[in-house]
A and B are shown apart, each in its own frame.
Chain A
Amino acid sequence: MRLPTWLAVHLAALRALLVLTVLLGLAYPLATVAVGRMPGLADNTGGSLVTVDGRAVGSTLIGQSFTDAGGNPVPRYFQSRPSAAGDGYDPTSTGASNLGPESVVDTIATEPAESRPSLLTRVCARSKAVGELDGVDGRRPYCTADGVGAVLAVFRRDGLTGPVTRVVSVNQVAPAVPFLASYQGVPVELARPGEDYVSAGGLVTPIRGDAPAEPAVPADAVTASASGLDPHISPAYAEIQVTRVARERDADPAAVRRLVREYTTGRVLGFMGSPGVNVLELNLALDERFPVR
């Protein structure tokens, strides 16, 4: 019996797919797994795990949080970058914050659980926290002294033009003090939870402030990575942490600094990527060289 052409072609398609599935979907990946088991590759393909006293403590490729159960930084360790993966460095929930460059107005709801800080406020809050932890100036452009985005909603009489009628500091709520007392002669109010000043016609106006153009807290310390698992920090971020870590471990800062340099990788071939310090490897080396008594 001859099959109708349309059916024959679909049967051929199905057979082709099955044959290719066996070749490409089973033989190829499983053979690659077998190759990956070879000595020299097995460590890599197994996930570059590091063990201390026979116990796996992580992977050199995957960053981790060096925080206590309450989420506070453990001061004797170098700290990783902020992370948007789950509750931080969760490999089962990888990803970035995905907030845009003009995410500057916080959502402050009446229910605190529904509030969502803007990217700018996250950056400012991190900068302030890192500054306090490491004893450096945590100020940044467009940030208030209390660590939120310095952003005003400016209301004008005729919408986009005309004299200013009302000014609200949209990311600050009571009991904060407005970061500016007045704007073009109009006193600045605090925001009230649940209010949307942008929809109400306020023009979003970020205020630069007088923070230094090159903040003391480096860029990677205040931004989340793409994967949420970034194993590296910049040498600059490591540098501002040296004093604190050395103090906590009763170690000579110069010795700690030398160790940081040992775990710093430059650009591959001098031009690929950017220099970084592997935080887990550095902290493991610290525990070995300068154990906390």
Chain B
Amino acid sequence: MSETAAGALFTLSLAVALAAVHRPFGNYLYRVVAGTRHTRVERGVYRLVGVEPTAEQSWGVYARSLLAFSAVSVLFLYAFLRLQNHLWLSLGFGPVVAHGAWNTAVSFVTNTNWQWYPGESTMGHLVQMAGLAVQNFVSAAVGIAVAVVLVRGFARRRTGDLGNFWVDLTRITLRILLPMSVLAAIVLMIGGVVQNLSAGTDVSTLTGGGQTVTGGPVASQEAIKDLGTNGGGFYNANSAHPFENPTAWTNWLQIFLLLVIPFSLPRVFGRMVGQVRQGYAVAAVMAVLAIASVTLTNAFELAGNGTVPHAVGAALEGKEVRFGVPDSATFAAATTLTSTGSVNSSHDSYTALGGMMTMGNMMLGEVAPGGVGAGLYGMLVLAVVTVFVAGLMVGRTPEYVGKKIGSREIKLASLFFLVSPALALVGTASAFATGNDATALNVGPHALSEVLYAFTSASNNNGSAFAGLVAGTPWWNTALGVCMLLGRFLPIVFVLALAGSLARQQPTPASEGTLPTDRPLFVGMVVGVTVILVALTFLPALALGPLAEGL
């Protein structure tokens, strides 16, 4: 079979698996977030935390609980990183430098998992599993919770009640993320992923050299890294490392894991608003964008344009033999279409246009299908913008699933959309203004790409990198930390506020003039609005970077 045909089958098999799973799995997710029963373990957790699980929260109270939890998480993780040398299993590594600890604490709490450090020579096993991996779970749960609140805003009527943050957090973690991670970790161990507490085994190689075969609780962290669209690798090489991703089929499984929750959440939306077709429409928008992006990334990488790929005969620099070019490209597209940011190949060495695709995926706002939760709420905001644009054209008050999109709603939606482009572009400009672009490894347009990629990744909470950039300096760690923090929590507050204002409304029954939002026409309009918004925002920056390099 040719490389291209095998790559096409690889993508197709993923699409088929996701199409088969998203309904039953989405139904399960729906039962978890909409149910009223509390298990005994959960009741125990609520007692220990000291919260009343039946108490409903307004959007403001929900937001304050979420922000308090995240603030405490940042401080806790910061302290953990600074004190790791005093703790068990530190492997002799010293405390993480202050600006680095700030960056990493923010990075993992915001579900970004941008890593300025090489894992195998910076982090002890305890800080990896009890510090970083815990945030992999809870930051993912926070994202899903926010999406659920927005959906409640559409589904509920004339109320301020939007659920309870502590209940959502606990349920999503214990009923969805934990059991699936256990399962995934076991399968990954069967594939060859390591899971031990060893500090490493020194071996003497065949030709008499020395090699330290590293250890670590990798499988347990790898599972939630993918499932929670986190992406922070245990090792520097992330999912390219044979101990994180040993075979071609674990590679398939990892891509599946990072797409499965985001693609199943639209089903939750459809069920909760009582119109499953609305959920299908949202999933269809995600699928159209994702398939287009995966296809283009594969096409650019397989075409292998550029001086070095031409000299080599393939775009194989920074790719592993066991994955090959197409499966690496599919992973790269999937990791940037979600907010994962783990990598199984070096995006920096991609062809100019292939690398641009990974950047473009993030610039889309990571909505196709996006990070766990973040993808759904991002897509619903885009749907709101789309009905507004369509409403302007025909001169009617826009509405979406029965809720009117008035001036307050559209203001919140616009603010939501503006945050990450503003952070990414202002950040990139300030790096050049202050001379901090000098830490880029490459020169010319590719250096601009490295800087632009870093800020796009941080502002959209992706976490992947054009890794040639040396980002471990005080300026970079501080600036990217600020972008990650604002890029995560400002949009979340806007979404919660939007949910609050939607939930207060009495739904308007659909009339003659209502734009049907569950038809292919609407799907096409949302795709169009998404692509046009991104093109208008980022085209000038892309023209100076990857387009200048690749055309």
Binding site for B on A (CB under 8 A): 6, 9-17, 19-21, 23-26, 28-33, 35-36, 41, 44-49, 55-59, 61-69, 74, 77, 81, 85, 89-105, 119-120, 123-124, 140-143, 149, 198, 206, 208, 213-215, 218-220, 222-234, 267-274, 276, 280, 283-284, 287
Q: Collect the chain A residues with CB atoms within 8 Å of residue B3's CB.
A: 274
- A229: nearest chain-B partner, CB-CB: B242
With contacts A33-B217, A272-B10 known, is A57 near B205, CB below 8 A?
Answer: yes
> Is there contact, CB below 8 Å, between B311 and A32?
no
With contacts A91-B211, A231-B242, A280-B206 known, is A206 near B68, CB below 8 A?
Answer: no
| Option from A12, A41, A93, A271 in Cβ contact (under 8 Å) with B121 | A93
A5 CB to closest chain B CB, in angstroms? 8
B299-348 residues at the A interface, CB under 8 angstroms: 305-325, 327-328, 343-346, 348
> Is there contact, CB below 8 Å, between B69 and A16?
yes
A259 to B189, CA, bound (A): 28
Q: What is the size category of the interface that chain B forms with chain A?
A: 35 or more
Question: Does any Cβ of A come within 8 Å of B212's Cβ?
Answer: yes
| Option from B48, B131, B196, B352 in Cβ contact (under 8 Å) with A45 | B196
With contacts A10-B72, A230-B320 known, is A20 near B173, CB below 8 A?
Answer: yes
Q: Collect the chain A residues with CB atoms within 8 Å of residue B213's CB.
A: 47, 49, 56, 58-59, 62, 91
> Is there contact, CB below 8 Å, between A232 and B1?
no
With contacts A120-B311, A223-B312, A271-B9 known, is A12 near B349, CB below 8 A?
Answer: no
With contacts A96-B240, A271-B6 known, is A33 near B321, CB below 8 A?
Answer: no
B441 CB to closest chain A CB, in angstroms? 6
| Option from A10, A36, A59 in Cβ contact (under 8 Å) with B219 | A36
Q: Collect the chain B residues with CB atoms within 8 Å of residue A98's CB.
A: 318, 346, 348-349, 441-442, 466-468
With contacts A96-B349, A232-B320 known, is A102 near B118, CB below 8 A?
Answer: no
Q: Collect the chain A residues with CB atoms within 8 Å of residue B200's CB.
A: 91-92
With contacts A62-B211, A100-B446 known, is A25 near B349, CB below 8 A?
Answer: no
- A265: nearest chain-B partner, CB-CB: B322
A224 to B237, CA, bound (A): 13
> Is there contact, CB below 8 Å, between A67 and B207?
yes
> Is there contact, CB below 8 Å, between B206 and A140?
no
A17 to B206, CA, bound (A): 47
> Is there contact, CB below 8 Å, between B349 and A222?
no
A140 to B243, CA, bound (A): 33
A218 to B312, CA, bound (A): 8
A66 to B207, CA, bound (A): 6
B232 CB to closest chain A CB, in angstroms? 14
> Is there contact, CB below 8 Å, between B71 and A13?
yes
Q: List 11 A-B contacts (CB under 8 A).
A: A13-B72, A32-B220, A35-B189, A90-B211, A91-B211, A100-B449, A102-B445, A104-B308, A227-B241, A227-B242, A272-B327
> Is there contact, CB below 8 Å, between A99 and B348?
yes
> Is there contact, CB below 8 Å, between A46 and B196?
yes
- B44: nearest chain-A partner, CB-CB: A19
Question: Does any Cβ of A come within 8 Å of B45's Cβ?
Answer: yes
Q: Which 7 A-B pairs have the closest CB atoms?
A: A273-B248, A274-B324, A101-B306, A25-B130, A226-B240, A96-B346, A98-B468
Question: Does any Cβ of A come within 8 Å of B39's Cβ?
Answer: no
Q: Collect the chain A residues with CB atoms within 8 Å of residue B441's CB.
A: 98-99
Q: Collect the chain A residues with CB atoms within 8 Å of residue B103's CB.
A: none
A29 CB to closest chain B CB, in angstroms? 4
Q: Collect the chain B residues with CB atoms within 8 Å of residue A95's CB.
A: 118, 236-237, 467
A78 CB to closest chain B CB, in angstroms? 11
Q: Collect the chain B residues with CB atoms within 8 Å of residue A269's CB.
A: 249
Bits for B63-97, please: 1 = Cβ < 8 Å to A, else 0.
01100110111001000000000000000000000
With contacts A25-B134, A33-B196, A93-B118 known, is A10 near B71, CB below 8 A?
Answer: yes
A66 CB to closest chain B CB, in angstroms? 5
Q: Collect the chain A residues with CB atoms within 8 Å of residue B324's CB.
A: 273-274
> Is there contact, CB below 8 Å, between B321 and A81?
yes
> Is there contact, CB below 8 Å, between A61 and B242?
yes
With contacts A44-B189, A98-B348, A226-B343 known, is A29 near B220, CB below 8 A?
Answer: yes
A227 CB to closest chain B CB, in angstroms? 4
Most chain A beta carbons < 10 A, residue from B173, B235, B249, B319? B319
A192 to B251, CA, bound (A): 46
> Is there contact, CB below 8 Å, between A16 and B310?
no
With contacts A19-B48, A47-B215, A93-B236 known, is A99 near B194, CB below 8 A?
Answer: no
With contacts A24-B133, A94-B235 known, is A226 near B344, CB below 8 A?
Answer: yes
With contacts A19-B45, A96-B348 known, is A9 near B64, CB below 8 A?
Answer: yes
- B136: nearest chain-A partner, CB-CB: A24
| Option from B129, B321, B443 in Cβ contact (under 8 Å) with A225 | B321
Known contacts A16-B49, A32-B220, A41-B189; 20 further A-B pairs (Cβ under 8 A): A13-B68, A17-B134, A19-B49, A31-B182, A33-B220, A47-B215, A55-B204, A95-B467, A98-B346, A120-B311, A140-B311, A223-B317, A225-B320, A226-B237, A229-B241, A233-B321, A267-B6, A267-B248, A271-B5, A271-B13
B363-421 residues at the A interface, CB under 8 angstroms: none
> Is there contact, CB below 8 Å, between B444 and A102?
yes
Tally A-B pairs: CB < 8 A.
Answer: 394
A12 to B51, CA, bound (A): 7
Q: Collect the chain B residues with CB atoms within 8 Å of residue A74's CB.
A: 207
Question: Does any Cβ of A come within 8 Å of B478's Cβ?
Answer: no
Q: Collect the chain A residues with CB atoms within 8 Å of residue B243's CB.
A: 47, 61-62
| Option from B118, B209, B355 in Cβ contact (under 8 Å) with A65 | B209
With contacts A32-B195, A67-B209 known, is A56 near B10, CB below 8 A?
Answer: no
A98 to B447, CA, bound (A): 11
A141 to B251, CA, bound (A): 32
> Is there contact, CB below 8 Å, between B467 and A96?
yes
> Is there contact, CB below 8 Å, between B189 and A283?
no
- A107: nearest chain-B partner, CB-CB: B443
> Is there contact, CB below 8 Å, between A9 and B68?
yes
Q: Collect the chain A residues with CB atoms within 8 Å of residue B305's CB.
A: 101
A268 to B201, CA, bound (A): 30
| Option from A13, A56, A218, A276 in Cβ contact (under 8 Å) with B322 | A276
A34 to B239, CA, bound (A): 23
With contacts A10-B72, A24-B173, A271-B6 known, is A44 near B118, CB below 8 A?
Answer: no
With contacts A41-B189, A120-B307, A273-B251 known, is A77 near B446, CB below 8 A?
Answer: no
Q: Collect the chain B residues with CB atoms within 8 Å of residue A104's CB.
A: 307-308
A252 to B150, CA, bound (A): 70
Q: Collect the chain A residues with CB atoms within 8 Å of residue B45's CB.
A: 16, 19
A270 CB to closest chain B CB, in angstroms? 6
Q: Collect the chain A residues with CB atoms within 8 Å of residue B314's CB.
A: 219
Question: Does any Cβ of A come within 8 Å of B192's Cβ?
Answer: yes
A66 to B211, CA, bound (A): 12
> Is there contact, CB below 8 Å, between B240 and A225?
yes
With contacts A93-B236, A95-B118 known, is A24 near B178, CB below 8 A?
Answer: yes
Most chain B beta carbons < 10 A, residue from A14, A45, A120, A142? A45
| Option from B197, B203, B328, B467 in Cβ contact (under 8 Å) with A49 | B203
> Is there contact, CB below 8 Å, between A44 and B190?
yes
